[in-house]
Amino acid sequence: MLLKRLEPFLSRKRAAILEACIIGVVSGLAAVFLKQGVEWLTLQRSSLALPLGLALPLWLALPLIGLLGGWLSGGLVERLAPEAAGSGIPQVKAALGFAPMALNLRVALVKLASTMLALGSGLSLGRQGPTVQIGAALAAQLSRWVPTSPEYRRQLISAGAAAGLAAGFNAPISGILFVVEELLQDFSGLTLGSAILASFIGAVVSRLLGGQGLNLVIDAPSVGLSVRDLPFLIVLGVLAGFLGAGFSRGIFASLKFFRRFKLGLAQRVGLAGLITGVVGIFLPIAAADNTGLQEFLVTGAASWQLIAIAFISKFLLTLLAYGSGAAGGIFAPSLVLGSALGCLVSFVAQATYSGFGAWAPPADLASTTTYALTGMGAFFSAVTGVPITAIVIVFEMTASFNLVLPLMIGSGIAYLIADRVANGSIYSRLLVWQGIHLEPVPQANNPWANLKAADLMQRRVETLSSQISLPEVVQAFSRSHHRGFPVLDSGRLVGIVTQTDLSEVAASSSEGNPKLADVMTPNPVSVGPEASLTHVLYLLNRLKISRLPVVEGTKLVGIITRADIIRAESDQVSGQLIEPGPQAQPSYVVYQRRAPAIGQGRLLLPLSDPKTAPLLLKIGGAIAKDKHYELECVHIIQVPRSIPPAEAAVNLKYSEPLEQLATAYAQRNGLPLHFQVRAAHEVGRTLLEVIKERHIDLVLAGWHRQPTTPGRIMGVVVDTLIRQAPCPVIVVRPGQDLQFDRWLIPTAGGPNSQAALQLLPGLVSLGEATDVRLCCVTKRASDQLQIHEEQLLVELATPLRSLRCSVKCLVVQQEEIAGAIVKLAQQYQSDAILVGASREGLLSQVLKGNIPLEIADKTNATVVLVRQSASSESSESAASQKSFQHLH
């Protein structure tokens, strides 16, 4: 795409100007095409000739044309784009409110064709509402061709909607105001600027190619206002308010009426066209198009009887057409109804001041034209709920400043009454009718709204040189937990390589000795440090990628992965539930016992139940003994938040048995034991306090099946430790048989698996004739990858040969990793499964599925999950980076 190629040379503001110009031109052309198409079809219908040229009598032509045109219009929408039904403005409002609503080229084309057929067949609807959806849909399609953020896409859609309305009415200011007043209700300077530019360009294109549209040529002397008119203008505003509210309610009554019949959209719209054609036979004024009828009414040349018939018939036929689901809007019908109402009030004013014909009316009394135009704005304001747009749209159609004051009086009163009676915007209520409830726009104080790429990215990035060989690339992947690397050439970002790229190369069996530059993905998508979080998420999801380089020019300054976003979410949530009432206070040490600090580190054991404590002591003691750690046992007693922990009365009847168990185990195994009891409001927060105060090196916690707390994965306490503990965390899910003779260790060779293997010397001491099986599950059946995995397992198993256990390695090829591990555990009757995982791996079940948790949920063996610390990951990454630089 040309815009995509020009994007590097355009600033954000320049790109917005260019795109607004394109949107304005395209929307204007679409509005002109729709106008010309409707006029041509209306002319054919008026001359009673079908497209084949077959002349038909009046009594048959109008109903038949209405039935056929309505059936074709409804069938087109029903089969190709159901989103194109109705006026289209509720759909645009839903899309701008981030609701799932399709807006694309298909919707625009279907809306264009179906509206021409519906209006051309005589249905009493307008084309200005559809032009709003057409302009918005074309702008949305442009945002698809040039991938951008949701906020910027919203900006383009609003510009397209403004351009569509401006082109439909030849009223650029009204297009802008309608978007601001009804659709967006919040906007930035750039959004407003884009809407203004697109709106004016759309109006210019429409005026140059499509004529005056609904614009009215009014002589200035015919429009005036005197004090005598004020009471009747107030009456006009009141009548417009109540009748406009009734019109809005009538739309929903019509929708309910058609819903009772089990008819498809084509049948409903065809039926509405048939009824409209029948009415048009007996009431020719009802079959007139909106433009001609409006001009006829504004002049005031018709009798009050004819105008009343026009008002009633137009009122009912518009409700009938809109309730059927036909493609068409209510803007133009509202203006026509308002002009008819204004004419009727004008006749009443003239009759009142002339004594019902007894004498001539005052010379300074406003003309029928003034009342008709005021009624247009008042009724439009009452129906749509946008009084400012109503005032400006009539002003732009007439270009008469003398109308501003009566328009303000009539529109203001009508809006206040209609809003009181009908309760809110008709477009919002139409969305609710469709089951779409728009959420409020996120506030500026939302911390996520201000996050930038620089806040999320990893600044220490492992990179590869574009000139290294494929075996060196494979070795780099085997030594790192990352699944993709940025590729540099002389310090510039030139590409990115993933495990998928290597798999494709292995499957193609390429000859020679290719370099990394031959297999990498060149010119990767990247973002700048100031890119918003929503833009980053949009690119990750739209392009289906897992990482985004962050660059300043061509210099790589960081990288963002899905794991980084999960980590940010974890830090934001912080594992704490916001509860009403007093905030949690720091814990209070009720009792503590200290042993000599002679160990090389400390292992924290939270104990809460004498039934589960022996297993945790057994596992934790074995690890502490192997690593020469001290045992730090803590029992936390929760107290109500209304009572400070230091003032709460606590019962130590559960603490004493736990201390006795811990003391007995420590004495049998010669381990230094520290024991403390704390009163606290929150267990997770208290454990973090202990970790910090006591300089804990390792935490071992128990976990029992699925939590009952919504939003939690392993429970409040364990989730808090996994998210926030600065040291490694071990989570144990006890199995049915608490034996530890047969261990299954799935591994991918990364730092998480290595951290788990470092605990194995202590864990194998729990069994007698211990059997250890290292397994690697791969999804692809590449011989080269299988050989690499086997070599990896051999490397990992070599240090374990010195242990008093049997170590075996196996590689399994299967798509579903968790299922394969569960089957292996059943096949080899494993007593325990040791799994290494990062914090994001344990907590990312929403984004990618959670393999460790799936394993724990589907097996009866004891599952030991190891989450290493962030500092360990950084050191591993640094070590890997040094090894890569050595390869270069």
Residue 743 contacts residue 830 (beta carbons within 8 Å): yes
Q: How far apart are CA 132 and CA 159, in angstroms?
A: 10
HSE of 711, CA atoms in CB hemisphere, 13 A: 10
Tokens of 828: 């080899």
Residue 489 is inside which H or E element, if any? strand 484-489
Q: Report the pLDDT value the prediction gives residue 443, as an integer from 0 to 100.
A: 46
Closest CA to 176 of 144, 198, 208, 147: 198
Tokens of 306: 């004819």
Superfamily of domain 588-733: HUPs (3.40.50.620)
Residue 524 contacts residue 559 (beta carbons within 8 Å): no
Q: Report the pLDDT value the prediction gives residue 591, as an integer from 0 to 100.
A: 93
In DSSP terms, 311 is beta-bridged to: none
Q: Is the dihedral of CA 18, 128, 233, 235 positive or negative?
A: negative
- The percent helix, strand, coil of the chain (3-state, each to 5) is 60, 10, 30
Residue 468 contacts residue 474 (beta carbons within 8 Å): no
Residue 318 contacts residue 255 (beta carbons within 8 Å): no
Angle, CA 770 vertex, CA 768 and CA 773 arms, to 5°: 170
pLDDT in tens, 448-483: 556 788 877 877 788 888 888 888 888 777 766 677
Closest CA to 123 of 62, 201, 214: 62
Angle, CA 598 vertex, CA 594 and CA 600 arms, to 5°: 115
Closest CA to 732 of 697, 756, 762, 704: 704
Considering the domain delimited by 220-433, tell me its CATH architecture: Orthogonal Bundle (1.10)
Q: How far apart are CA 454 and CA 657, in angstroms?
A: 51
Q: Report the pLDDT value the prediction gives residue 558, as an integer from 0 to 100.
A: 87
With a cut of 50, which residues of the chain have pLDDT below it? Answer: 1-4, 6-10, 49-53, 220-221, 442-446, 570, 572-581, 707-713, 839-849, 873-888
Q: Is 290 helix (H, G, I), strand (E, B) or coil?
A: helix
Q: How far apart are CA 314 and CA 333, in angstroms?
A: 7
Cα–Cα separations (whole angstroms), residue 655 to 603, 608, 636: 19, 8, 9
Residue 267 is inside which H or E element, if any? helix 265-282
Q: How far apart are CA 520 and CA 467, in angstroms?
A: 11
Closest CA to 69 of 107, 133, 112, 115: 115
Q: Report the pLDDT value the prediction gives residue 780, as an integer from 0 to 100.
A: 57
Q: Which fold has domain 15-210?
A: Clc chloride channel (1.10.3080)
Token pair 């011989």 is found at 783
Q: Is 862 helix (H, G, I), strand (E, B) or coil?
A: strand
Cα–Cα separations (whole angstroms), residue 197 to 192, 193, 391: 9, 6, 21
CA distance from start to end of the chain: 37
Tell me the pairing of strands 729-733 and 832-836. Answer: unpaired
Q: Report the pLDDT value the prediction gives residue 168, as an integer from 0 to 100.
A: 81
Tell me the pairing of strands 492-498 and 742-746. Answer: unpaired
CATH 3.40.50.2300 correct for 742-881: no
How many Å separate Cα 845 from the centre of its chain?
A: 19
Cα–Cα separations (whole angstroms), residue 783 to 331, 469, 478, 788, 880: 67, 19, 16, 9, 25
User: What sections of 354-386 are H helices per DSSP?
Assistant: 368-384
Q: Report the pLDDT value the prediction gives residue 708, as an integer from 0 to 100.
A: 41
Identity at 233, one-letter amino acid code:
L
Cα–Cα separations (whole angstroms), residue 799 to 223, 251, 394, 754: 97, 77, 85, 11
Q: Report the pLDDT value the prediction gives residue 435, as an integer from 0 to 100.
A: 75
Domain ranges of the chain: 15-210, 220-433, 448-572, 588-733, 742-881
Would 220-433 and 588-733 be classified into the same CATH topology?
no
Residue 549 is inside which H or E element, if any? strand 547-552
SS (H, E, C) 775-837: EEEECCCCHHHHHHHHHHHHHHHHHHHHCCCEEEEEEEECCCHHHHHHHHHHHCCCCEEEEEC
Closest CA to 433 of 182, 86, 135: 86
Q: Report the pLDDT value the prediction gives residue 566, as an integer from 0 to 100.
A: 66
Q: Which CATH class is domain 448-572?
A: alpha beta
Q: What is the DSSP letter of 649?
A: -
